[in-house]
């Protein structure tokens, strides 16, 4: 007997771009993480060379126990254009009408039909007219197999990216040290002195030389393969970041009380026509989550900070902040040039980590029954869609760096 799983599919992605190879992911009601699909074979012509994105329009049902977390095997019939008869009456009325011999109207509709033969589960079928379908969606990316313990998609893939990561780590450490001194009796009026002292200590720890003479001729030979080049560029960027860091310390950005957070959400600052659409989508999602959590009373007043719902909401909000920094100029120019791409990657990867933290918190919410299941499923879909788009941006930025470095 076949596994007919269409009523459990919340969302699905299938990549048919490689001849003879089909990869994908299934988000199923009742399973904590996406199911990986790895099949040999070819789809029908309508799907060849395409990426298919499916999202269920109706409420889904939990998948039957025993469905494998990794679907490996051989593809059967796979098409997104199978013609089927679609009743014009609610589905629950169809069987009684058929049994009673009464006629009912119907029309021809398009159905997605995806069949494969799993090594674990045998024949598996998704057949549905209740899916929203998109082909070659630019926000989609089929992730590589991350099951290996050695897999790290945050690991730098170029010299520029490695340098940007190191610089970010340096500045984060410096920020923490300055903040610690200010929180432990330091006077904010002494900020500049504290900053310079901690920077000097940290430079010594990292083995960074004193700032290079500002009068140095920009035409002097500076080779990107020379450590001195990277050391100088790092110091230059460190100097430019100082005023930004001071402003962040002064504002204590994103450490908001409940009243301040609600005021921020009520403001118009969380949506700006100059923002990239993904930034607005993320900030709007954060606002909707906050409203739902507050209005439904899901968050106990005594368990605010480490509560999974609070962690879920804050992870999405912080992701929006990081995306705002990463995609500041993306509306007018994308992909970025190689030098900008390296530092954009730092924020994009930070946003990705926040989205992944959000999904972990969301899973805890599901397991503990902390909010309505349907609401959590909707949030999970949105977070996964934003995560997929961030993955595309990360790859674009890495490609921009690779193109430049290969031509050097």
The three-class DSSP label of residue 46 is coil
The 10 Å Cβ neighbour count of residue 297 is 8
Number of H helices, E strands in the chain: 9, 9
Read off the tokens for 234: 């790092």
- Cα–Cα nearest to 340, from 212, 154, 197, 161: 161
Does residue 304 contact residue 256 with C-beta atoms inside 8 Å?
no
**For the chain, domain boundaries:** 3-135, 155-253, 255-408
- Would the pLDDT of 181 be above 60? yes
The phi-psi region of residue 73 (left if phi > 0; otherwise alpha if psi is between -120 and 50; otherwise beta) is left
Q: Give the single-character DSSP code of 7.
A: G
- Helices (DSSP H) in 87-127: which residue ranges? 91-100
The order of strands in the sheet holding 51-56 is: 3-4, 122-128, 106-118, 70-87, 35-40, 21-28, 9-18, 51-56, 131-135
Residue scoring higher pLDDT (328 or 274):
328
The pLDDT confidence band at residue 144, using thresholds 50, 70 and 90, is very low
Residues 6+ away with beta carbon under 8 Å from 50: 16, 17, 135, 136
What are the tens digits of pLDDT across the range 1-33?
Answer: 789 999 999 999 999 888 788 999 999 999 988
- Best-predicted range by mean pLDDT among 132-136, 238-242, 303-307, 323-327? 323-327
The pLDDT confidence band at residue 195, using thresholds 50, 70 and 90, is confident
User: Residue 146: its pLDDT value, please?
Assistant: 41
Which DSSP helix (H) or strand (E) runs through 407? Answer: helix 373-407
The residue-averaged pLDDT of 170-195 equals 82
User: Residue 352: its pLDDT value, please?
Assistant: 93
- Cα–Cα nearest to 8, from 27, 34, 33, 25: 27
The pLDDT confidence band at residue 339, using thresholds 50, 70 and 90, is confident
- Rounded Cα distance between 87 and 73, Å, is 34
Which DSSP helix (H) or strand (E) runs through 268? Answer: none
The 10 Å Cβ neighbour count of residue 11 is 22
User: Residue 26: its pLDDT value, please?
Assistant: 94
Distances (CA, A) of 250 to 99, 179, 244, 307: 73, 10, 10, 27
- Would the pLDDT of 143 be above 70? no
Does residue 71 contact residue 36 with C-beta atoms inside 8 Å?
yes
The residues pairing with 112 across neighbouring beta strands, listed in sequence order, are 128
- Rounded Cα distance between 62 and 373, Å, is 11
- Rounded Cα distance between 92 and 399, Å, is 51
User: Residue 156: its pLDDT value, please?
Assistant: 76
User: Residue 84: its pLDDT value, please?
Assistant: 64
DSSP 165-177: HHHHHHHHHHHHH
Residues 6+ away with beta carbon under 8 Å from 317: 254, 283, 286
What are the tens digits of pLDDT across the range 59-102?
Answer: 889 999 999 999 998 888 898 877 666 666 676 676 677 778 87
- Would the pLDDT of 158 be above 60? yes
- Rounded Cα distance between 275 and 66, Å, is 45
CATH number of 255-408: 1.20.1440.60
Residue scoring higher pLDDT (151 or 174):
174
Does residue 106 contact residue 86 with C-beta atoms inside 8 Å?
yes
- Rounded Cα distance between 260 and 299, Å, is 17
The pLDDT confidence band at residue 212, using thresholds 50, 70 and 90, is very low
- Cα–Cα nearest to 320, from 400, 246, 390: 390
Which DSSP helix (H) or strand (E) runs through 182? Answer: helix 159-183
Let me know the angle formed at the C-alpha of 272 by 271 and 276, rounded to the nearest 5 degrees: 95
What are the tens digits of pLDDT across the range 258-304?
Answer: 554 555 455 444 456 778 899 999 999 999 999 999 999 998 876 56
* Mean pLDDT (the chain, rounded): 77
Does residue 74 contact residue 40 with C-beta atoms inside 8 Å?
yes
What are the tens digits of pLDDT across the range 375-390?
Answer: 999 999 999 989 988 9
Let me know the angle formed at the C-alpha of 296 by 295 and 302, rounded to the nearest 5 degrees: 95
- Rounded Cα distance between 224 and 160, Å, is 9
Read off the tokens for 336: 């970025």
Residues 6+ away with beta carbon under 8 Å from 151: 144, 145
- Rounded Cα distance between 94 and 97, Å, is 5
Residue scoring higher pLDDT (369 or 226):
369
User: Residue 281: its pLDDT value, please?
Assistant: 92
């Amino acid at each position: 007997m076949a596994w007919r799983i269409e009523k459990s599919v919340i969302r699905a992605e299938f990549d048919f771009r490689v001849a003879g190879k089909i990869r994908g992911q299934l988000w199923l009601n009742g399973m904590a993480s996406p199911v990986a699909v790895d099949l040999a074979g070819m789809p029908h012509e309508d799907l060849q060379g395409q990426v298919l994105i499916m999202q269920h329009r109706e409420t889904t049902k939990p998948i039957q126990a025993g469905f494998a977390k990794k679907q490996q095997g051989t593809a059967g019939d796979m098409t997104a254009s199978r013609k089927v008869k679609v009743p014009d009456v609610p589905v629950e009325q169809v069987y009684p009408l058929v049994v009673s011999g009464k006629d009912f109207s119907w029309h021809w509709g398009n159905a997605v039909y995806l069949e494969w033969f799993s090594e674990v589960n045998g024949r598996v079928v998704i057949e549905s007219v209740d899916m929203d379908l998109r082909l070659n969606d630019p926000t989609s990316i089929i992730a590589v197999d991350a099951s290996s313990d050695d897999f790290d998609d945050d690991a730098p893939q170029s010299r520029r990216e490695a340098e940007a990561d190191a610089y970010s780590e340096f500045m984060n450490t410096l920020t923490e040290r300055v903040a610690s001194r200010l929180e432990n009796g330091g006077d904010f009026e002494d900020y500049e002195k504290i900053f310079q002292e901690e920077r000097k200590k940290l430079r010594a720890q990292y083995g960074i030389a004193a700032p290079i003479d500002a009068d140095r001729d920009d035409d002097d030979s500076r080779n990107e393969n020379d450590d001195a080049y990277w050391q100088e560029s790092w110091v230059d960027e460190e100097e430019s970041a100082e005023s930004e860091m001071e402003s962040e310390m002064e504002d204590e950005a994103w450490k908001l009380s409940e009243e301040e957070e609600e005021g921020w959400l009520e403001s118009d600052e969380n949506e700006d026509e100059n923002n990239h659409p993904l930034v607005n989508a993320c900030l709007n999602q954060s606002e909707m989550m906050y409203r739902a959590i507050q209005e439904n009373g899901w968050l106990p007043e005594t368990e605010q900070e480490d509560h999974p719902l609070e962690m879920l909401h804050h992870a999405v909000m912080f992701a929006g902040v990081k995306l705002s920094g990463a995609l500041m100029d993306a509306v007018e120019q994308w992909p970025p040039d190689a030098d900008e791409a390296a530092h954009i990657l730092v924020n994009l990867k930070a946003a990705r980590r926040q989205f992944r933290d959000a999904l972990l918190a969301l899973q805890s919410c599901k397991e503990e029954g902390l909010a309505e299941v349907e609401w959590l499923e909707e949030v999970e879909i949105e977070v996964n869609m934003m995560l997929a788009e961030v993955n595309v941006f990360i790859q674009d930025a890495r490609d921009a760096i690779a193109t430049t470095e290969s031509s050097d």
